[in-house]
Chain A
Amino acid sequence: MKNNWLKKIDWIVLPLIGVGCVLLLWQLSCSTWAKELPSPARTWTNSKDYILKPFEKRGEMDQGILRFTWYSLILVAKGYALALILGTPIGFFLGLSKTFAKTFDPIIQILRPVSPLAWLPLGLVLFLGAGKNASELGALFTIAVCAMWPTVLNTAVGVRAIPQDYLNVAKVLKLSRTKTLFKVLIPATLPYMFTGFRLSLGIAWLVIVAAEMLTGRPGVGGFLWQEYNALIYEHIILCIVTIGVVGFVLDRLMSLVEKRFKAA
């Protein structure tokens, strides 16, 4: 009986124990060797204003944490949309044409591991002419160019994995190219595409911090960088936790969508 009862709540108890362990380690660290690190309690006292009034705007760089998150999410959404719009067709071409794959696969493999921190300056240079929009366009470029690869590669794998039977059906029925694309290729690739979309979203969210740090835009990343310069370390921790939680929630949401398409 007792065992059963424990099993029922372990989905919440065990993760809480995990969080507790990290908090303990944090507390130990700041009371022994890392004297500058704010303790958990101090972090809470100093940042509760941002959490308890999450939508308040006190100044350009002094806003509630959810308000900052909202700015970041909007930027991510734009960059992510761009990544999908560019990445999906590229993936299709890579999967469909051997010549295309041979031509562009090496350069894709070279560009793929480049860090967002390296892309951002290039993005800013690219859009120098855009005046005050330069930082936004540069950030969008960085997000798109970093987040697009999982979509590209997964779509390509998905297209290559389409069973010959489905292609035979298309051939026997003499489906036109567009009809084959929309009736056979895209539906057959959807599960792979969504795996790519989920991974891309994770990366887009990773990149946002870097983009905002360097451009100084208001958002979670920009706030983090400003508070580092202002030596308010409690708020850095607040930002880290926020970024983590939001990323986790995004990933969960995306995997729900992904599951729906896998089941179909």
Chain B
Amino acid sequence: MAYLQLTNVSKGFGSNGTRSEVLKDINLSVNKGEFVAIVGYSGAGKTTLISLIAGLLKPDSGTMTLNDLEIAEPGPDRGIVFQNYSLLPWLSVYENILLAVDQVFPNWAAAKKEQHVLKYIDMVNLTPAREKKPHELSGGMRQRVSVARALAMDPQILLLDEPLGALDALTRATLQDEISRIWQENQKTVVLITNDPDEGIYLADRIIPLTAGPNATLGPSFKVEIPRPRDRKLLNHDPRFKELRREVVGFMQTSKQQQHATLTKKLILPDIEPEDLSAPRRFGSRPVRRNEIKEVAVDL
């Protein structure tokens, strides 16, 4: 039995008339110490999937087990790093992490807790900023606090929900390196949700595409057989990397085409054309501009 096991999990939102099925028949098994990346389009239901594993949502059907125990409610055995950091803004970096440590290790002496918190602050290189409030930190720094908080709980599994999605490309790369380093030091089981196949391939042992929603489901899993530590610069020229990326992206695009649909919507264009002076105008009305409203078809 795998460490984390999801069997035929489905989840939808809304009631009868307006119901939309988000996830359908999700089957996922993750082994202990494995780093799995799940790649999917925006809006495919990635966050729903991680919320299910975290226990923040309940599945409509199917079973989920972690270490042979059913996942029924959220708990600190699953450390989660949210996309939007989710730090409490009235607490400093230190206090945010201490709150988690306090909760998971209530019997530790104060000095041991402090040492533990400082260790993880140091691990994400934030020691100089430990007394700062979240609003005084950059996005990248906040996300590192969030990672430190999740790791400090010493969870059985680490859930990363698009942790780098809101960051600029350069910060993103730095943090990917850091996550990679921290993972190699800790060897935790990790499920990473991302919309960037490259990120998935760079970090994970296995990469699994999530098909486009609604009724999204997991595709076949692709093993990343590139030895660690991986070098970002060399990776781009690695034929295995190119092949893997082609396969993953190819699978996702095919899955999207199967869901092809067209939506027509009206676009109101900005006023950049001169007024049509020859058009008849009534008192009080705005002169009509040519091509003011356009209908376009959008592929979904």
Residues in A lying within 8 Å of B, measured CB to CB: 165-166, 168-169, 171-175, 179, 183-184, 187-188, 190, 264
Q: Do A183 and B88 form a contact, CB below 8 Å, given A172-B78, A173-B99?
A: yes
- Nearest residue in B to A190 (C-beta to C-beta)? B90
| Contact indicator B76/A173 (Cβ below 8 Å) | yes
A116 shortest CB reach to chain B, Å: 36
Q: Which residues of A contact B86 (CB under 8 A)?
A: 165-166, 168-169
Is the contact region of chain B dominated by helix, strand, or loop, or is it mixed?
Answer: loop
Residues in B lying within 8 Å of A, measured CB to CB: 54-56, 73-76, 78-80, 82, 84, 86, 88, 90, 99-100, 103-104, 133, 153
Q: Do A174 and B88 form a contact, CB below 8 Å, given A168-B56, A168-B82?
A: no
Give 8 new A-B contacts, CB below 8 A, not counting A168-B82, A172-B78.
Answer: A166-B88, A168-B86, A171-B55, A173-B76, A173-B100, A174-B75, A188-B88, A188-B90
B270 shortest CB reach to chain A, Å: 33
Report the Cα distance A169→B99, complex, angstroms: 10
| Contact indicator B90/A172 (Cβ below 8 Å) | no
| Contact indicator B82/A165 (Cβ below 8 Å) | yes
Q: Which residues of B contact A165 (CB under 8 A)?
A: 82, 84, 86
B7 shortest CB reach to chain A, Å: 23
| Contact indicator B90/A174 (Cβ below 8 Å) | no
Q: Which residues of B contact A179 (CB under 8 A)?
A: 103
Report the Cα distance A151→B79, complex, angstroms: 37
| Contact indicator B88/A172 (Cβ below 8 Å) | no
Is the contact region of chain A dominated by helix, strand, or loop, or is it mixed?
Answer: helix
A183 shortest CB reach to chain B, Å: 6
| Contact indicator B99/A172 (Cβ below 8 Å) | no
Q: Do A172 and B76 form a contact, CB below 8 Å, given A183-B99, A264-B90?
A: yes
- Nearest residue in A to B95 (C-beta to C-beta)? A183
A-B contacts, 19 listed (Cβ < 8 Å): A165-B82, A166-B86, A166-B88, A168-B56, A169-B88, A171-B56, A172-B74, A172-B76, A172-B78, A172-B79, A173-B99, A173-B100, A173-B104, A174-B74, A174-B76, A179-B103, A187-B88, A188-B88, A190-B90
Q: Do A184 and B103 form a contact, CB below 8 Å, given A172-B54, A172-B56, A172-B75?
A: no
A14 shortest CB reach to chain B, Å: 35
Q: Which residues of A contact B73 (CB under 8 A)?
A: 171
Q: Which residues of A contact B99 (CB under 8 A)?
A: 173, 183
Report the Cα distance A239→B54, complex, angstroms: 63
| Contact indicator B103/A173 (Cβ below 8 Å) | yes
Q: Which residues of B contact A175 (CB under 8 A)?
A: 103
Q: Which residues of A contact B79 (CB under 8 A)?
A: 172
Report the Cα distance A27→B96, complex, angstroms: 62
